[in-house]
A = this chain, B = another copy of it.
Amino acid sequence: MTSEAVETAQHYWYDDDAQRQRSIAVLEAMRTYRAAEAAMQRRTQVAMGMGETDLLALRYLLRMHRAEHSVGPKELAAYLGISSASTTVLLDRLEKTGHLSRQPSPFDRRALIIVPTPASEEAVRRTLDGMHERMIAIASDLSPDDAQTIVSFLGGMRDAVDAIDKHDAGDGHDAIVTHDAGHGHGHDSGDGRRGAGRDA
């Protein structure tokens, strides 16, 4: 939707208006992609009968498993940005539905190794690999220059997003303090969810 704006700008590349049209088209493309990705993620969650965290956890486990890297509850909790307790329950869930198994660590008798089951591997692969292949295909078709352009662009966007207001950004939890005033009492505050899940 509305991504042809760029074409109409051919004769005005020096013109502010055309430039504006182009940036709108670019940002719109980003929004559209984001929306598509969010919808995909939701579809996948429904299809596999699990929530966002569960799916994120499973994908991390599979990725690490493929890379021959053992993962324990502690590492998983850190990756997901959830507490140790929540991780225990998450593992219970995924173990009960047959997506993973807990195995004792050979090095540390307190610790566990979490191993995704082959069946889970298969399910995730069936669900996501087609998409992944298509994405790789698109990326592979780019010329070196275009690839460089896109990498730079995304890097810039990442910085823009990362740099969000270190200085004020509100005072934290609780109300907006129009007239209502008083009673701060921050009933819940905290939260600390999802630790910036980077992946590899």
**Which residues of A are interface residues toward B (Cβ below 8 A)?**
3, 6-7, 9-10, 13, 18-20, 22-27, 29-40, 42-49, 81, 96-99, 117, 119-120, 122-123, 126-128, 130-131, 134-140, 142-144, 146-151, 153-165, 168-170, 172-178, 180, 187-189, 191-194, 196-199
List, in ascending order, chain B residues with CB within 8 A of A117's CB: 176, 178
Instruction: Decide yes or no: A47 and B178 within 8 Å by CB, A134-B160, A154-B30 being known contacts.
Output: no
Interface residue SS majority, chain A? helix
Besides A98-B180, A126-B165, A138-B160, 7 other CB < 8 A contacts? A3-B151, A6-B144, A7-B148, A35-B199, A49-B175, A130-B165, A146-B153
Smallest CB-CB A-B distances: 3 pairs: A49-B173, A23-B139, A134-B160
A122 to chain B, nearest CB (A): 7
List, in ascending order, chain B residues with CB within 8 A of A40's CB: 161-162, 164
Instruction: Decide yes or no: A42 and B191 within 8 Å by CB, A130-B165, A139-B23, A170-B126 being known contacts.
Output: yes
List, in ascending order, chain B residues with CB within 8 A of A155's CB: 3, 29, 32-33
Across the interface, do A27 and B150 meet the contact criterion of CB distance under 8 Å? Answer: no
